[in-house]
Amino acid sequence: MRIHSLATVIATALLVLSPSAAFAQDRRDQRGHGHTQFDDKDRQTTSDWYNQHKDHPPAGLRSQDRLSSDEESRLREGAVLDQDLRKRVHPVPDDLRRRLPPPPRDHRYVAIGGHVGLIDNNFQVKAVIHLH
């Protein structure tokens, strides 16, 4: 009898919690969790943030951080950053990072040569927003 009651309680709990878990998953997806491309909202958010901070931009977004035309050609979606470009990578400022959707696991937002990028832990470029 006790086992039957315990099984009933567990089954009921699973039924009650399952829709909640599915709803939480949907909410994460709607917030962009896991996406590896920038959308128009991300570009606008980044552009607005940059315009508010362009008088005192952080490392990676300053005029002196701009890339040469050769370096620019190597900063593209799908490319893996070479050693020279990896040295130019800076984390995006926390206040910008908080405005963007959480990056997928093993990815991060970076500032490099006047751009904001999304790269994975292997330095593969997933997306780029050009600010300069």
Residue spans per domain, the chain: 1-30, 36-130
Tokens standing for residue 46: 């980044």
- Residues contacting residue 106 through CB under 8 Å, at least 6 positions apart: 120, 121
Looking at 3.20.20.70, 3.40.1010.10, 3.50.50.60, 3.10.450.160, the CATH number of the domain 36-130 comes to: 3.10.450.160
Query: Which DSSP state fits 64?
Result: G
Q: Determine if the pTM surpasses 0.85.
A: no
Give the phi and the psi of residue 46 in degrees, each rounded to 5: -65, -45
Cβ atoms within 10 Å of 119's Cβ, excluding its own? 24
Torsion of CA 68, 73, 79, 85, to 10 degrees: -10
Per-residue pLDDT of the chain (132 residues; tens, 9 = 90+): 566 565 554 555 544 444 433 333 332 344 445 678 999 999 999 999 999 999 999 999 999 999 999 999 999 999 999 999 999 999 999 999 999 999 999 999 999 999 999 999 999 999 999 997
Q: Which amino acid is at 117?
A: G
